[in-house]
Structure 1
């Protein structure tokens, strides 16, 4: 069984944010933000801060939990509505284009770890995939219409994605 990971406390998050050293960034006419200069953890902290700032009384979540750095079971941030899990956010600090297969492998990995750790997932929840880079057309199509994108995947492709997702998970590799 995979051991569940508990989110950080608010003081732990504040202390971690205080340790981040700001970097100067000035490139004339730069079209993108400097995500490539951030560490993966800094990208997670940024996502946490942005999601906290977006909490709204009529939104689908009212609290954002940041998971500890490192092996987090495929969930960097958890979104809660009251005491109930409303969403999961995975942050990937890839500065290259993210393809559909990477997105699906990460989603499958999260679901496998959830099953192996007895993490209870509600019937209705949202999965967000945050990346520092761009996404391919196929990855965007997956998030636009997941059901259609999944129907287009052959059994052989899905088997390969599941094997790729299982490989790094201790206790689930073939």
Structure 2
């Protein structure tokens, strides 16, 4: 019932994702949400985010930021990162996931998405046919509409975790 919202992977943080392994598996593009995925809500790019993007570029990844925020927020974060970005993306609409892949010169088979929300980030990436990685939100401070969605996310994650622990039939 909730499968359409289940992430392909669920990890504690963007900063523990083994990007080198993903590159070896053939991924070439990474789309990122910003708030609570890379930095706390509203924060500029910190040293950890700057190092991550330098590392990704060194590995050979193309990157793109895709955010439902307005341009001033996304542009401010990107000042130190310098990757293509899409603001006011209307996630989970697939239009801007596809536009991001076009900007990176990748497609749904060799791109992946990293974000912290099930109903926008993961659902949109799944609908676009992309591998997706859900990360735990970095900071509890969030806008009220996101706080409300987090209650529903807990229900979906309960069933996701339950499914993950199910023994497989052989």
Q: Which has the higher contact order (CA 8 A, sep 6+)?
A: 2
**TM-score normalized by structure 2?**
0.27
Computing the radius of gyration from Cα coordinates, the structure with the larger value is 1
**TM-score normalized by structure 1?**
0.27
